[in-house]
Amino acid sequence: MMQSGSMLFLNEHQVIRLEDDDDILLSVVTDGRVADTFTVDYPSAGYGGGELYLSPLGQHLVFSYFSGESEEAFLLLKIVQGHLEPLYSSGYRNGEGTSYAFLAGESLLLETLRTGWWCEDTAETDQDGRAFYRFGEIRLLDIGKGAMEVHAVRVYPPSGWEKNEDEDEGEFRILEAEEDLLRLEAPWGEETVSLPLDGDIIFTP
C-alpha cells in the first residue's frame, strides 16, 4: 500500500512535502530543515492541484496532478539519499482520475486513467457490430527504459442494457497489483486483469 497526500513520511527523520500555493515545489525535509527541493515546471495548460504517492520500498515518488480541464499527468522521481531525481514526465492526457501501483521490484509503474463515460452518444461499434464504450486506459511504464505501454479499456454493455447515469458513479482505480494479476474497482463492480497486459482490455459487466 502506498502513502499518498501532500506530506509523506520517508522515515522518522525525513518527510517529503508538496507546496503549490505559488510555485510547485517538492521538498525533502530532514529533522525540520529543507534538505532538497525540486521545482516542477508550471504546466502550460494550467494547474488545478496534485498529490504525492510514495512507492512501497520508498525508492520512488509519483507526483500526480491535473489541469482542472479534464486532463491528468504525473511526474516520476527517484529518491536517492534524500534527493529527488526526475525520471519520467507523462505530460497531460485527456481524462479524469488516476491510480498507481509498482511491480517487479519497482521497475514497473502501472497507472489507470479514466477517459470516457457511459453515455448513449459516445457508444461506438466494433467490426462485429457490437456497441462498446471507450472507458479508460491502463498504462505500464518500464522505468529503466522510460518506455510507456498504453492499453485501451473498452466496455461492452450487457444485452438489453439501458442507459442509467447511476451506473456511471464510482471510481476506476487499482485495488491490488500482484506480479500476475491486477484487481480493479470500476463503477459496475470489481474486475481482474491478467498480467502481463496484451492489447486492449475488454470488460463485459
pLDDT in tens, 87-146: 999 999 999 999 999 999 999 999 999 998 766 667 889 999 988 999 999 999 999 999
- The Cα–Cα gap between 74 and 50 comes to 9
CA–CA dist 195, 201 (Å, integer): 11
Q: Phi-psi region for residue 166, left (φ > 0), alpha (ψ -120 to 50) or beta?
A: alpha
Q: Tell me the three cell numbers of residue 15.
A: 518527510
Share of residues in the chain with pLDDT > 70 (%): 94
Tell me the pairing of strands 189-194 and 181-186.
Answer: antiparallel
pLDDT reported for residue 140: 97
Grid coordinates representing 3 are 502513502
- pLDDT higher for 15 or 116? 15
Residue 44 has pLDDT above 80, yes or no: yes
What pLDDT sits at residue 170? 76
Using a 10 angstrom Cβ sphere, with 0-12 exposed, 13-18 middle and 19 or more buried, the burial of residue 52 is: buried
Instruction: Order across the sheet with 181-186: list the strands.
Output: 173-177, 181-186, 189-194
The mean pLDDT of 42-70, rounded to a whole number, is 96
pLDDT tens sequence across 191-201: 999 999 999 99
DSSP one-letter code for 158: P
Spatial separation of the C-alpha atoms in residues 24 and 104, rounded to whole Å: 30
pTM: 0.93
- For residue 84, the model assigns a pLDDT of 98
CA distances from 32 to 12, 15, 54 (A): 11, 9, 19
CB atoms within 10 A of CB 1: 6
Count the neighbouring beta carbons within 10 Å of the beta carbon of residue 11.
9
- Over residues 139-168, mean pLDDT: 85
Q: How confident is the model at residue 163 (pLDDT cuts 50, 70, 90)?
A: low
Amino acid at 72: E
Compute the average pLDDT of residues 75-79.
98
Q: Is the peptide bond before 196 cis (omega within 30 degrees of 0)?
A: yes
Q: How confident is the model at residue 4 (pLDDT cuts 50, 70, 90)?
A: very high
Buried b / exposed e over 91-127, threshold 16 CB at 10 Å, is ebbebbebbbbbbeeeebbbbbbbbbebeeeeeeeee
